[in-house]
Every structure is written in structure tokens, then in C-alpha cells.
């Protein structure tokens, strides 16, 4: 019987790449089977995520926003690169650049993102990284978490695929809370990718 064709993903990164590493580790362990990372793209030259990809022999490229006169031309370059690989899914893993409508519309229902809070709360324009955890701690709620969702043209507002709740502990700081949530992001992102593929959504 022939091997089922592998599901191919493109991963967009901007930072340390711990979410990318979680996908890499899940593929290597067989937990995310029948999947391959075709390309890793970063808008930041110094993103450690690129080194993680390189270490695994995964194709990776830095695309410099400064080489383009506007976000649309930058995103068109990314679309061109991604389309060279015919991916089934585009994963935003710590990617900090807002996507243009042209990019989102180029991959309908094929782009997912991991957000470090329980959307639809604590999401939207400007709500990323430590800003999210600051707002959550300020709100006084007792739990936060992370959300894997489809990306639409409304920031952090696409259909939710997978969510994990994380308790907020007495004396939590942005640092302690973000670290606890980041651990759950790694598991949630892998589960979210599995769910996309298993639902034959992709
Ligand atoms: C993390 O803060 C995470 O909450 C968000 O992106 C940031 C960097 O993640 N999704 P990574 O280590 O670059 O994957």
C-alpha cells in the first residue's frame, strides 16, 4: 500500500521559535505523523527560530521587510515563496507581523495562529506577547490560557480550533504566567494542527 501523502506546512516565525520547536519535536516523535515542515519564513533576520530550522535541515528564509516598499509587496513575496511548496497549512508561530488581506485571502481557511490567551478575550490589534499577560493580570481573572484559531482578516477573531486553560496563581507576574502558558502553547499548537488535518478541514 502506498504511503499516504504527507501534509505540508509552512511556519512563519519572528522570535525564539519555541512553538516551531514543538512542531519539529512532535514530527520527530511521531506524535504529529505524516506531516512535514516545507519552509520556515521569518521577518526577523536574528530570529532564533531560523537557527532551530537550520539545525533540523529544514528550509528556512529571512525575508527583509525593508526590501519592500509596503506590507502588500512584502506579503506577495511570502505568498510566492509559500506557493512554491504547495503547502496544506500555514502556521503562525510567534509571528508578529499583521497579515494583509491579500495574504489571508490567498490561503482561505488554511492559516492558523497560536495566541497566548483565551480568545475572544484579550486579543485583537496590539494584544501580543507580554501586553496580553499584563492585561490579563490587571483584569483580576483567575485563569488564562492559549488559543489556536483560524486566521481571518479580523485580528485574533477567527474560528477557534483548540484552547487550553491555565490557572493564574497567587503572586503571578507577567514572566511567571507567560512561561506557564508558553508550555501549554507548545502542546496546544500541535493538537490544533492535528485537529485541522483530522477534520479534513485542510
Ligand atoms: C510567545 O510569547 C507566544 O505566546 C506567542 O509568540 C511568542 C514567541 O513564541 N505565540 P516562540 O517562542 O517564538 O514560538
> What percentage of the chain carries pLDDT values higher than 90?
92
pTM, 2 dp: 0.95
Q: Is 50 in the pocket of ligand 1 (CB under 6 A)?
A: no
Ligand 1 atom nearest to CA at 47: 13
Q: Where are the domains of the chain?
A: 1-107, 114-202
Pocket flag, ligand 1, residue 127 (CB < 6 Å):
no
CATH code matching the domain that covers 114-202, chosen among 3.40.50.1100, 3.40.50.170, 3.40.50.1000, 3.40.50.1980 = 3.40.50.170
pLDDT digit string, tens, across residues 38-86: 999 999 999 999 999 999 999 999 999 999 999 999 999 999 999 999 9
Q: N- to C-terminal Cα distance for the chain? A: 23
Q: Is 188 in the pocket of ligand 1 (CB under 6 A)?
A: no
CATH of domain 1-107: 3.40.50.170
Q: CA of 113: how far to CAs of 96, 104, 147, 167, in Å?
A: 11, 12, 8, 22
As a whole number of angstroms, the distance between CA 74 and CA 53 comes to: 22
**1-107 and 114-202 share one fold:** yes
Amino acid at each position: 500500500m502506498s504511503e499516504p501523502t504527507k501534509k505540508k506546512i509552512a511556519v512563519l516565525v519572528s522570535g525564539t521559535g519555541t512553538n516551531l520547536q514543538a512542531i519539529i519535536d512532535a514530527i520527530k516523535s511521531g506524535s504529529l505523523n505524516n506531516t512535514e515542515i516545507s519552509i520556515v519564513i521569518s521577518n526577523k533576520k536574528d530570529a532564533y527560530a531560523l537557527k532551530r530550522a537550520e539545525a533540523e535541515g529544514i528550509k528556512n528564509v529571512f525575508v527583509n521587510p525593508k526590501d519592500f516598499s509596503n506590507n502588500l509587496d512584502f506579503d506577495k513575496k511570502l505568498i510566492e515563496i509559500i506557493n512554491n511548496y504547495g503547502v496544506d497549512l500555514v502556521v503562525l508561530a510567534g509571528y508578529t507581523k499583521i497579515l494583509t488581506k491579500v495574504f489571508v485571502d490567498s490561503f482561505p481557511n488554511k492559516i492558523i495562529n497560536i495566541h497566548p490567551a483565551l480568545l475572544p478575550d484579550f486579543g485583537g490589534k496590539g494584544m501580543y506577547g507580554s501586553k496580553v499577560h499584563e492585561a490579563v493580570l490587571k483584569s483580576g481573572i483567575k485563569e488564562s490560557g492559549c488559543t489556536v484559531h483560524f486566521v481571518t482578516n479580523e485580528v485574533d477573531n477567527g474560528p477557534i480550533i483548540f484552547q487550553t486553560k491555565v490557572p493564574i496563581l497567587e503572586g503571578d507576574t507577567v514572566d511567571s504566567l507567560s512561561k506557564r502558558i508558553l508550555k501549554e502553547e507548545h502542546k496546544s499548537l500541535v493538537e490544533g494542527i492535528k485537529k485541522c488535518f483530522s477534520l479534513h478541514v485542510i
